[in-house]
């Protein structure tokens, strides 16, 4: 099976590339390098021993997309490419809608033209309403609260409509919870530009003295220790979820939606304390006000992915912290 990974040099795409190559899939990777670096192509080779074919192409560049598809003969696409910074999306909504939604429509048009009928799409737990009570099942109420989240919601709807119109087309929509961690080689991982918004990249930068201390956003939530609870999933487990989805895509019609999470919630202080335990007390923190828009407690029901895809996570919080630490150490 030959698979195209859009956004395949990014954090989740690169880890998925490794899993696919190691499981015998032929892959091409396309990315516009907006939030990644071409060095990752070499890192993928170092990890897998295989040269990956890379196309530096933007989803919005229809001519280049068409050419890639005309030559690629793909059986499936895993669609990671997109902008993902929540705060930025509130400042630049048009950029987010154009890149994520127009980009996806361009991709679907190419898939239609070249008769590529299988897609796996990177959606997010942020499509769920925070009024749901965890664990979140796939039929929980949807209500994304920022433009980034709405791009994910709208793309889900576009894919569903297209599946309805084209009976040969199949889609797996994966709603990721909170991916953290890095490949055990320490060669690939999450490396956001500027000051990170997300918890783990902030923690690793404090650990290496690039940032002074972590601000814990609120300790007065209705959770066991008062800090926010999330479902952190190791990025290698998450990557394997795509493999499970690809292996099942021929066994159903239309679209399927699955959560990818562990089903366990950890608080901010659980993460900080575990990190300090396995990486040597490096992270100081202070409690500050809540961050606007944050929910108290979000974690997945992983049952549907387990029952239908046979997907089960294997990696614990300790390993997530240690691998994140090792990646930051290698990239100091």
| Window contacting ligand NAD (CB under 6 A); options: 74-82, 207-215, 249-257, 318-326 | 74-82
Q: Give the tokens for residue 3.
A: 């698979």
Q: Is 84 in the site for ligand NAD (CB under 6 A)?
A: yes
Query: Which member of 3, 5, 19, 32 binds ligand NAD (CB under 6 A)?
Result: 32
Binding pattern for the stretch 107-146 against ligand NAD, x by CB under 6 A and - elsewhere: ---------------x-x----------------------
Q: Is 196 in the site for ligand NAD (CB under 6 A)?
A: no
Among ligand UD1, ligand NAD, none, residue 13 binds (CB under 5-8 Å by kind) = ligand NAD
Q: Select from 152, 149, 67 the least CA-distant residue to 114.
A: 67
Q: Is 54 in the site for ligand NAD (CB under 6 A)?
A: no
Which residue, 69 or 299, is less far from ligand UD1 as judged by CB? 299
Q: Is 323 in the site for ligand NAD (CB under 6 A)?
A: no
- Contacting residues for 106 by C-beta, under 8 A, at least 6 apart: 59, 60, 62, 65
How crowded is the C-beta side of 124, counted as CA atoms within 13 Å?
A: 25
Q: Is 261 in the site for ligand NAD (CB under 6 A)?
A: no
Sign of the CA dihedral running 149, 152, 155, 159: negative
Element (H, E) at 3: strand 2-6
Q: Give the tokens for residue 160.
A: 């569903």
Q: Is 12 in the site for ligand NAD (CB under 6 A)?
A: yes
Among ligand UD1, ligand NAD, none, residue 195 binds (CB under 5-8 Å by kind) = none
Residue 304 to residue 278: CA distance in whole angstroms = 32
CB 57 within 8 A of CB 30: yes
Sign of the CA dihedral running 181, 176, 137, 247: negative
Q: Is 266 one of the annotated active-site residues of the chain?
A: no
Which residue, 79 or 230, is less far from ligand UD1 as judged by CB? 230
Residue 226 to residue 243: CA distance in whole angstroms = 36
Q: How far is the CB of 198 from ligand UD1 (least distance, A)?
A: 3
Among ligand NAD, ligand UD1, none, residue 230 binds (CB under 5-8 Å by kind) = ligand UD1
Of the candidates 11, 97, 128, 148, the residue annotated as catalytic is 148
Among ligand UD1, ligand NAD, none, residue 228 binds (CB under 5-8 Å by kind) = ligand UD1
Beta strands, E only, 142-206: 170-176, 178-180
Q: How far is the CB of 59 from ligand NAD (least distance, A)?
A: 4
Residue 63 to residue 79: CA distance in whole angstroms = 18
Residues known to be catalytic: 148
């Amino acid at each position: 099976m030959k698979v195209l990974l859009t956004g395949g040099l990014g954090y989740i795409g690169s880890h998925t590339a490794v899993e696919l190559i190691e499981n015998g899939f032929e892959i091409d990777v396309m990315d516009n390098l907006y939030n990644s670096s071409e060095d990752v192509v070499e890192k993928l080779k170092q990890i897998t021993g295989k040269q990956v074919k890379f196309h530096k192409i933007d989803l919005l560049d229809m001519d280049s997309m068409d050419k890639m598809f005309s030559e690629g003969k793909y059986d499936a696409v895993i669609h990671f490419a997109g902008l993902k910074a929540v705060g930025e999306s509130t400042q630049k909504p048009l950029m987010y809608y154009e890149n994520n939604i127009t980009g996806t429509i361009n991709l679907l048009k190419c898939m239609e033209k070249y008769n590529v009928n299988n897609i796996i799409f990177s959606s997010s737990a942020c499509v769920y309403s925070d009024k749901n009570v965890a664990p979140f099942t796939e039929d929980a109420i949807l209500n994304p609260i920022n433009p980034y989240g709405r791009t994910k919601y709208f793309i889900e709807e576009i894919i569903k409509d297209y599946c309805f119109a084209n009976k040969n087309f199949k889609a797996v929509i994966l709603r990721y919870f909170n991916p953290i961690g890095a490949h055990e080689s320490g060669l690939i991982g999450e490396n956001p530009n500027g000051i990170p918004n997300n918890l783990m990249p902030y923690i690793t930068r404090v650990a290496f003295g690039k940032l002074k201390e972590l601000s814990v956003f609120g300790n007065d939530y209705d959770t066991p220790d008062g800090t926010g609870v999330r479902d952190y999933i190791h990025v290698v487990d998450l990557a394997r979820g795509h493999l499970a989805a690809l292996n099942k895509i021929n066994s159903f019609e239309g679209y399927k939606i699955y959560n990818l999470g562990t089903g366990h919630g950890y608080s901010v202080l659980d993460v900080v304390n575990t990190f300090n335990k396995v990486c040597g007390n490096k992270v100081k923190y202070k409690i500050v006000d809540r961050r606007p828009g944050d929910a108290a407690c979000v974690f997945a029901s992983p049952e549907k992915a387990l029952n239908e895809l046979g997907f089960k996570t294997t990696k614990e919080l300790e390993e997530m912290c240690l691998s994140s630490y090792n990646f930051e150490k290698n990239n100091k």
